[in-house]
Structure 1
Amino acid sequence: MIVTADLAMSLDGYIAGTGVSPDNPGGDGAEPLFEWIHNLASWRERQGMTGGEENRDSELMREWFDATGAVVMGRMMFDTGEEFWGDNPPFRTPVFVLTHRPRPTLVKEGGTTYTFVTDGIHSALEQAKAVAGGRNVDIAGGASTVRQYLAAGLVDEMQLHVVPALLGDGLRLFDGPGLGPRRLEPVRVVDTPLAAHLTYRFAT
């Protein structure tokens, strides 16, 4: 079991556009970050749909799904994504939502449950590890949540899907205090027409 973070990013370092809200979860101008995913066969399977492209990008997405046993996300990501994901979310695993606003656990179709954690990032991670069944725990986002786990040295591997687009403005993953200098070891580089998929392991 390792702790991962898996995010799409523009060439100029943005993981969301400006004006992120529940009605605009990716932010303004962020379509290139996510549109490459929507026709992948592995993504469509997770949405309960058929068809789609079977290619290297789809294989990488399926690999992530199969390797992930639990997910941690921030409340903003949950609030902006809940309506889009609907009653049968693509996670198919327990999801732990960091929040200051407690609410009862939500049980969705397909094995996704949302547990709302009010006592911090370490508690959420330990709860996720306890139910991951030996598979990985993924820190899904948003940027603030991933940065907290990075700053605490709790992420083992990071996979960035760098899409060939410039957003010019928006939400950067690596901005903000607390990250400090870190060494990373390249694990894998997969180049496709849709994205450059970069996997790094944090050096110990």
Structure 2
Amino acid sequence: MGKVQYQCSMSLDGFIAGPGGDMSWLVPYLGPDPMVDQIMERTGALLAGRRTFGGDDPYKGTEHEGEAYGGGWEGPQFVLTHDPPDAPVPGVTFVTDLETAVAEARAAAGDKNVGVLGAQIAAQCLDAGLLDEIFVGVVPVMLGDGVRLFDHPGGTRVKLERISLSEAPNSTDLLFRVTR
């Protein structure tokens, strides 16, 4: 069975999105990355929060706007939301319960990983003991404000074990195992 894996890019100062969820900061850093290619290859389904699913897209204005990983990945997507849309979205299943969303995404992924997109859904998975790994591409820019990689008011300690470290032209890629 695959892992439940938080997948994101992050500025050096710890933000995965700019103020208001802005993702345009990432555009200059998109490009070839062998580790990201491996992550996509090993991902069988995506699980996103509603804000991430409906949010800003670094591929906005291109032929790959609205496509996961800019069109580099295809497969079933699950969105955790309290307010599913009335009209169906092809390839997307809207789920209202975290445990059900993770279970359905795992079943759809088969022996591959479930890629978790979005800070809030990743934090919920972590709190519920459902998150196995964290992949972060650290990008050489500082944003100063925005959506943090991990935000837990009052603080909490999460112990991680580094699995791998690699460099790409536009990022330093880190993969961690969540230790329990």
TM-score, normalised with respect to structure 2? 0.84
Give the 3-state SS of the residue equivalent to 2:152 in structure 1: coil
Among 22, 37, 43, the alignment partner of 1:68 is: 43
- Deviation, 1:81, is 4.9
Identity %: 37
Matching residue's letter, 1:115? T
**What does residue 43 of structure 1 align with?**
none
- Deviation, 1:180, is 2.5
Contact 2:16 2:147 in 1 (8 A): yes
Contact 1:151 1:179 in 2 (8 A): no
- Deviation, 1:101, is 1.4
Distance 1:60 1:151, change over 3 A: same
**Superposed CA offset, 1:22-53 (max 9, x none):** xxx42xxx51x34322x33xxxxxxxxxxxxx
**Superposed CA offset, 1:74-93 (max 9, x none):** 11111125894557653411
Gap regions ≥5 residues in structure 1? 41-56, 108-112
Distance 1:149 1:87, change over 3 A: closer
- Deviation, 1:181, is 1.7
Matching residue's letter, 1:192? A
Q: Distance in 1 between matches of 2:162 and 2:75?
A: 28
- Superposed CA RMSD in Å reads 2.2
Give the 3-state SS of the residue equivalent to 1:19 in structure 2: helix
Contact 2:6 2:135 in 1 (8 A): yes
User: Does residue 1:101 correspond to 2:83, yes or no?
Assistant: yes
Work out which of the two has the higher radius of gyration on C-alpha atoms and give 1 or 2.
1
- Deviation, 1:192, is 3.4
Contact 1:151 1:178 in 2 (8 A): no
Q: Distance in 2 between matches of 1:36 and 1:87?
A: 18
Gap regions ≥5 residues in structure 2? none
TM-score, normalised with respect to structure 1? 0.75
**What does residue 92 of structure 2 align with?**
114
